[in-house]
A and B are shown apart, each in its own frame.
Chain A
Amino acid sequence: MTAGEPVLEVEDLRVRLRTPRGPADVVNGLSYTVGAGETVAVVGESGSGKSVSVLALLGLLPARVATVTGRALLQGEDLLTMAPDRLRQVRGAGAGMVFQDPMTSLNPVLTIGRQLVEGIRAHGDVSKADARSRAAELLREVGLPDPEGALDRYPHELSGGMRQRVVIAIALSNSPSLLIADEATTALDVTVQAQIIDLIEGLQDEHGTGVIWITHDLGVVAGIADRVLVMYGGRCVEDGTVDDVLERPAHPYTRGLLGSLPDLAAPVGPDGEVPELTAIPGLPPPPTDLPQGCVFWPRCPVRADPRCETEQPPLAVVSRAPAGGPAGATASGAYTGDGAGLPHRAATWCTEGVDGGSRG
């Protein structure tokens, strides 16, 4: 898959929430693009600001508590400065969204048909009958058995996987150019997960939809994404192609997530037993009180640079930059060139040992 024209361009997105414990900087300057037909995976622990960053795009955060700044161009139009009425039109028609829990993301007291039809009719002057047949067609497309009959059923009469298919059908009902899947497979069991991922990939190929796939499951990322963006403390700490990020992680956090850094993956126990990988000790920093330097510093086992504690490292090219940048020195050996021509960037002062993955 190649990235075509960008569908979405996010620039310096910042979200600040008002909380009882003071202002919380949940997203701090996030920039990325999603091309047509491209899948960008956003990964991170809970509390890293992944969901908030996409809810902010569609204006789904409560205006009373959330301040969103930056730019987010959906096909050239800025979502963040859009008139509320125009934003409403864009929701569903420009960007569809699939949420985490199919058990709760459908209204339990309305029929499946009604919930599809109201979405279709909100975006065009369609008769009820036409909207209904379009709804049935959508349900067939997402692979629901007996789509006609399903229209008159209620969510509780369907299994979790089937419900998620319905949610996907709703998200796709107005052929949006962008699909946002917020932990769309997390609540499903593994076989259903695979089916849903296949379904979305298939639909994406067919319609050329750009996809933002939010997850904390790196296995899913490897299967579906073209590019990966690793979020931590409301920042992008590393991004690049799937191969770059998953196989040659540059940021200590990413390496911790992947369990490729033995220091991070919990030390060997006193009985000589090696514990399971990918457990990073400690908690993400509270967004009300972010560290002054590198966001990962409090949990970082590397801390190889004096600037770590005091200065936030910029997101710099790790492996393709011809010269300059703090990572330039280690660049030559790492880059194998996947053809996508996309830079692999990371926000860290410590890039030594990227290749080997272990620092002795």
Chain B
Amino acid sequence: MTGAPVPEPGNSPDTPAGAPGTSPVATLRPARPRSRETLSLLAHNPTAAIASVLLLLIVVVAVFDETIAPDGANDIEVADRLQSPSWEHPFGTDDLGRDILSRVILGASVSLKVGFLAVGFALVVGTMIGLLAGYYGKWVDDVLMRFMDMLFAFPAVLLAIAVLAVRGPGSGNTALAIGIVYTPIFARVTRASVLGVREEVYVRASRSVGASDWRILTRHILPNAAPPIIVQTSISLAFAVLAEAALSFLGLGTQPPDPSWGLMLAEGRGYIQLAWWLAFFPGMAIFLTVLCFNLLGDGLRDALDPRQRTLMAGGGK
């Protein structure tokens, strides 16, 4: 603990930051970073840039999985059971002689599909709820947000398990379960942004000239709420992939014989002493995907949301 703890330079009141004297008209509507600027900001953040490239790669692999995978997901070669990694099978083979590399590649599409579906659901439903609650306020806000708080307070895994118990296991239901879990987060983030701008001059101005609620919501309020929602989307994708793996691991998500990373881990668990590669490679795939989404989320947060309005969805696995 050497050296005095001192404020960041940006915090000294006299460092040039403010811009007094700009014309009031220009400040009526706050400038927002445009997508090109965001991209260039991301490019200046090497970690986020690398993460984006890796993610792109993962998505490409997931899209062309059938073409890329050397073997089919369920090509059983009993003679090749539990082969350790080799040139022929870089990630080895499992207890039924299936090629693990192929299954990891094919599992990518399952994991990502569930992840995107889940977050897509949470994004659409949550944002709508947040917009309505924030914009109309009063009882609409009370009812919607009370319900969201209830969902939010509930342990995420148990909530997902309960939804799956109701709907039965399977990929589609897993996506729905995870989507429901993450809906409140999007509702909260959106609502907070809406409250922030609802009484801004430019919103009041367009209301006074008779713009419809719909127009105000889509033209003025949603764009302002977009940065934290975008950041939240990236972070939620990370947790959705993780949650899908966890639920499949528990036997509630994707069902065999479909190749899902979580399921492969569960299957490989029994052979851990005998053949470590069964569980290791799918786990690595989950880890890398989740890490990339998180890093991208962090990069986006730095670039888009300097006020850090995004909730940290920490621990909500």
Contact = CB atoms under 8 A, between A and B. Distances in A.
Interface stretch (A44-52, A243-251, A349-357): A44-52
B46 to A, nearest CB: 15
B14 A63 contact: no
Nearest to B17: A47
Contacts of B19: 283
Contacts of A51: 12-14
Interface stretch (B1-9, B31-39, B82-90, B117-125): B1-9
Given A60-B6, A61-B6, A100 B13 contact: yes
B16 interface: yes
A45 B7 CA distance: 22
A19 B9 contact: yes
Contacts of B17: 47
Which one of A18, A47, A280 has the highest number of Cβ atoms from chain B below 10 Å of its Cβ?
A47
Contacts of A46: 13-14, 16, 18, 20
B315 interface: no
Contacts of A284: 16
Among B13, B14, B19, chain A packs the most CB atoms within 10 A around the CB of B14
Interface string A28-72: 000000000000000001111111100100011111011000000
A273 B17 CA distance: 32
Nearest to A47: B16
Contact of A183 (B8, B13, B15): B13
Contacts of A17: 9, 15
A7 interface: no
Contacts of B7: 62
Contacts of A18: 9
Interface string A271-311: 00000000111111011000000000000000000000000
B13 A62 contact: no
A279 B6 contact: no
Nearest to A53: B14
Contacts of B12: 51-52, 55, 61
A26 B7 CA distance: 17
Contacts of B16: 24, 46-47, 284, 286-287
Nearest to A99: B13
Nearest to A279: B21
B14 A52 contact: yes
B6 A45 contact: no
Interface in B264-292: none
Nearest to A186: B13
Given A50-B14, A51-B13, A283 B6 contact: no
A62 B8 contact: yes
B14 A62 contact: no
Contacts of B14: 26, 46-52
A283 B15 contact: no
Contact of A65 (B3, B9, B21): B9
B20 to A, nearest CB: 7
Contact of A282 (B13, B15, B21): B21
Contacts of A182: 13
Q: Which of A45, A100, A183 has the most CB of B within 10 A?
A: A45
A183 B3 CA distance: 27
Contacts of A48: 14
Given A52-B12, A55-B12, A47 B6 contact: no
Interface string A92-133: 000000001000000000000000000000000000000000
B23 to A, nearest CB: 10
Nearest to B7: A62
A321 to B, nearest CB: 32
A286 B6 CA distance: 23
Contacts of B6: 60-63
Interface string A151-182: 00000000000000000000000000000001
B114 to A, nearest CB: 40
B43 to A, nearest CB: 15
Nearest to A231: B14
B22 to A, nearest CB: 8
A286 B13 CA distance: 15
Nearest to B2: A84
B20 A45 contact: yes
A66 B9 contact: yes
A182 B18 CA distance: 18
A324 to B, nearest CB: 35
A96 B6 CA distance: 18
A250 to B, nearest CB: 24
Nearest to B19: A283
A26 B21 contact: no
Contacts of B20: 45-46, 283
A280 B20 CA distance: 10
Given A19-B9, A55-B12, A62-B9, A47 B18 contact: yes
A259 to B, nearest CB: 15
A26 B13 contact: no
A254 B20 CA distance: 18
A287 B19 CA distance: 14
Interface in B143-170: none
Nearest to B21: A283
A143 B7 CA distance: 31
Interchain residue pairs A-B with the least CB separation, the first 6 = A51-B14, A47-B16, A62-B6, A65-B9, A52-B14, A51-B13
17 contacts: A24-B15, A26-B15, A45-B20, A46-B14, A47-B17, A51-B13, A51-B14, A52-B12, A52-B15, A61-B9, A63-B3, A63-B6, A100-B13, A183-B13, A279-B21, A283-B20, A287-B16
Given A26-B14, A45-B20, A47-B14, 9 more contacts: A46-B14, A47-B15, A49-B14, A62-B8, A63-B3, A182-B13, A183-B13, A281-B21, A286-B16
Interface of B: 3-4, 6-9, 12-21
